[in-house]
A and B are shown apart, each in its own frame.
Chain A
Amino acid sequence: MKPGEVTAVIGKSGSGKTTLAYCLSGIIPHRIHASISGEVRVNGIDILSSSFTEVVKNVNVVLEDYESQIFGLTVEEDIVFGLENLNIPNLEIRERLECVLELFNLRDRQHALISELSGGLKQRLAIASVVALKPKFLILDNPTSNLDWPGVKGLSKAIAELKRHGCGIVLFLRKLKGLENVVDKLFLLEEGVLKPGALHTFSTLPSSRVSSSGGGRLSPIIKVEDVWFRYDGPWVLKSVTLEVCRGEVLAVMGRNGSGKTTLMKLLNGLLKPTKGEVLIDGKSTRRTSSAEVARIVGLAFQDPSKHLFAETVWDEVSFGCRNLGLPLENAERALQLLELTSLRDKPVYKLSMGEKVRTVIASALALNPQVLILDEPTTGQDESVLRELASIIGEAKRLGKSIVVVTHDSEFALAVADRVAVLVDGRVRCIGEAESVLLNEQILEEAGLEPPLAEYSCREVQTSCCQAA
Chain B
Amino acid sequence: MLSSSLMQSPLRALDPRARLAVAAGLIISAFLVTSLPAVVVLLAATLLVGVIGRVHGKLLKLLKIFGPMVAVAFILWATMSSYSLIYRNAAFGVSFELGAFMALRLLILISVPFIFIATTTPSEVVSALESLKLPRSAIFLLSLALRHISSVSYEYQAIKEAQTSRGLELDRGFLLKRIRDYIPVIIPLLVKSIEMADRISLAMELKLFNLKSSRSRFFHHRLETIDYVVIASTISALAAILAIRWLAGGV
Residues of chain A at the chain B interface (Cβ within 8 Å)? 27, 31, 52-53, 56-57, 60-61, 63, 65, 68-69, 71-74, 77, 80-90, 93-94, 111, 113-115, 129-130, 133, 265, 268, 270, 289-291, 294-295, 298-299, 301, 306-307, 309, 319-320, 323-324, 363-364, 367
Contact = CB atoms under 8 A, between A and B. Distances in A.
A129 B207 contact: yes
29 contacts: A31-B205, A52-B205, A53-B210, A56-B205, A63-B203, A68-B196, A68-B200, A69-B206, A71-B203, A71-B207, A73-B3, A73-B121, A73-B122, A77-B123, A77-B219, A82-B208, A85-B208, A86-B208, A87-B213, A87-B215, A93-B216, A129-B207, A133-B208, A270-B165, A290-B165, A298-B165, A301-B162, A309-B188, A320-B166
B222 interface: no
B202 interface: yes
B184 A73 contact: no
Contacts of B204: 71
Given A82-B207, A367-B167, A319 B184 contact: yes
B216 A86 contact: yes
B208 A90 contact: no
Given A74-B6, A80-B219, A93-B218, A115 B154 contact: yes
Contact of B216 (A87, A289, A309): A87
Contacts of B220: 90
A268 B165 contact: yes
Contacts of B163: 309, 319
A165 to B, nearest CB: 19
Contacts of A270: 161, 164-165
Contacts of B164: 270, 290, 294
Contact of B6 (A31, A53, A113, A320): A113
B202 A31 contact: yes
A88 B167 CA distance: 53
Contacts of B123: 72-73, 77
B231 interface: no
A65 B205 CA distance: 15
Contact of A84 (B196, B206, B217): B217
A268 B162 CA distance: 11
A62 to B, nearest CB: 9
Contacts of B158: 301, 306-307
Given A72-B123, A85-B207, A133-B208, A363 B216 contact: no
Determine which residue in B166, B191, B208 has the highest number of CB atoms from chain A within 10 A of its CB, and name it: B166
B199 interface: yes
Given A31-B202, A90-B218, A363 B4 contact: no
Given A77-B121, A86-B216, A309-B184, A295 B206 contact: no
Contacts of A129: 207
Q: Shortest 4 CB-CB distances between A and B: which pairs?
A: A320-B166, A68-B199, A309-B188, A294-B167
B166 A367 contact: yes
Nearest to A126: B203
Contact of A83 (B161, B162, B205, B216): B216
B152 to A, nearest CB: 12
B83 interface: no
A102 B215 CA distance: 25
Contacts of A115: 3, 150, 154
Determine which residue in B154, B169, B205, B208 has the highest number of CB atoms from chain A within 10 A of its CB, and name it: B208
B166 A89 contact: no
Contacts of B122: 73
Interface string B168-187: 11001000000000001001
B147 A73 contact: yes
Contacts of B207: 69, 71, 81-82, 85, 129, 133
